[in-house]
Structure 1
Amino acid sequence: KTTPSGKQNVAISRVEPVGNYAVRLVFDDGHDTGLFSWDILHDYGMRQDSLMAEYLDRLAAAGQPRG
């Protein structure tokens, strides 16, 4: 699993609906791959603190900066 670094101030610039089941998130750094179902977005929202902690731990272990 690749952990992207240098992404401290990235924001969502657009949300594009995909049918009634998902959205494509377009970020201001140009990243726009992947579809996110409503269920996965809910899951990410419920686990945002632990997901961020895991991300920061992976960056630290790899010696990579966040931003």
Structure 2
Amino acid sequence: MNAAPWPVRLAFRKSAAELAVEFDDGASGTIPYVILRKESPSAEVRGHGGGPPPPQPPVPADISVTGADPVGRYAVRIHFSDGHNSGLYTWGQLRQLAVGDAA
């Protein structure tokens, strides 16, 4: 069984308002901060349980990332300028957003 691709570089590019991600299999891509915030995997955004997700206020076009923390060996918690920080972005989700596949 092949191991899932592993991120070897995460670069938060403030001037471009994007996250650049590189994986150990050579795949790479960028994710605009607005998309990262809209696609947050948090229960606050996705909903609790099996119900429909709650309505979300629009994400500000000038949203920024104020920090990020590793979570174990499987994810990163991203802190946004609007105070949101409850989503844990797994490597698979970042790959899906940056490259378009979850390999």
The TM-score bracket by the shorter chain reads: 0.5 to 0.7
Q: Residue 43 of structure 2 corresponds to which residue in structure 1?
A: none
Moved over 2 A (4+): 1-4
Query: How far apart are the structure 1 equivalents of 2:63 and 2:79?
Result: 10
Higher relative contact order (CA 8 A, sep 6+): 1
Displacement of 1:4 after TM fit? 2.7
1:40 paired residue among 93, 99, 102: 93
Larger helix proportion of the pair = 1
Larger strand proportion of the pair = 2
TM-score under structure 1 normalisation?
A: 0.60
Unaligned runs of 5+ in 2: 1-52
CA RMSD in angstroms, aligned pairs only: 1.5
Cα gap change, 1:6 to 1:41, in 2 (>3 Å): closer
Kindly provide the CA deviation profile for residues 11-44 of structure 1, in whole angstroms up to 9, marking residues without a partner as x: 1111110001001000011111110101101101
Sequence identity percentage: 34
